[in-house]
Amino acid sequence: MRRMIAAILLLCYLSFSPTCRAFNVEDCGSKSGKFTSVTLSCDMSKSVCDLIPNTNATIEINFTIDKDISAVNAVVHGIIMDVPIPFPLGNANACTHSESNISCPLAKGGSYLYRNVLPVHKSYPKLAVTVKWQLKDENNEDIVCVLIPAKIK
Ligand SMILES: *[C@@H]1O[C@H](CO)[C@@H](O)[C@H](O)[C@H]1NC(C)=O
Ligand SMILES: *[C@@H]1O[C@H](CO)[C@@H](O)[C@H](O)[C@H]1NC(C)=O
Ligand SMILES: *[C@@H]1O[C@H](CO)[C@@H](O)[C@H](O)[C@H]1NC(C)=O
């Protein structure tokens, strides 16, 4: 039995079967918050999130918080071969950009749905990248931190 499970896992690993290879969004040190779901505009049943040039990529982070928070700033890095490269956002301040769907201050115990849309430019290099998305509070501490395995197609 154990050998059979191992064989199935190995087959999954070697194949590109979507059910075997769906990617996970990893927590990279969420502190005052906890994400309940992360929804991306890519096909989340694949092994990585495919970012298609000339499209907009949407991210939604549904999270709860365990303290009052007055500021929410998004910090995004693209990690390429272990090197985090800052990805500047024009709308980093979620409190002042209504498209973020966050109204500040945030109340302890509340549930929030953060949203952002990024254009995938044609000029981006076609490579594998881990997207690190942090939402930071007024003390520069992580409310949530998520890692998304992605690939620019
Ligand atoms: C992406 O979003 C921007 C801003 O909302 C919009 O102007 C643009 O047309 C969108 N692009 C695509 C390919 O949907
Ligand atoms: C966010 O997650 C909570 C808990 O899972 C759920 O009750 C709520 O409906 C979600 N909100 C949205 C907008 O998805
Ligand atoms: C955020 O989006 C959810 C679902 O789309 C909505 O129910 C909620 O009212 C929005 N919150 C704000 C502050 O706009």
Print pLDDT tens along the chain (153 aa). Answer: 556 555 555 555 555 554 566 899 999 999 999 999 999 999 999 999 999 999 999 999 999 999 999 999 999 999 999 999 999 999 999 999 999 999 999 999 999 999 999 999 999 999 999 999 999 999 999 999 999 999 999
Mutational test site, ligand 3, from 101, 102, 111, 117, max ligand atoms within 8 Å of CB: 101
Mutational test site, ligand 2, from 34, 35, 37, max ligand atoms within 8 Å of CB: 37
For residue 55, give the ligand 1 atom closest to its CA. 13
Instruction: Report cis status (omega within 30 of 0) of the bond before 105.
Output: yes
55-65 and 33-40 as β-strands: parallel, antiparallel, unpaired? antiparallel
Q: Write out the two tokens for 106.
A: 């945030």
Find, among 128, 133, 126, the residue nearest to 25 by Cα.
Answer: 133
Question: Would you state the pLDDT for residue 3?
Answer: 62
pTM: 0.86
* CA end-to-end distance (rounded Å), the chain: 39
For residue 102, give the ligand 3 atom closest to its CA. 13
For 94, phi and psi rounded to 5 degrees? -70, -25
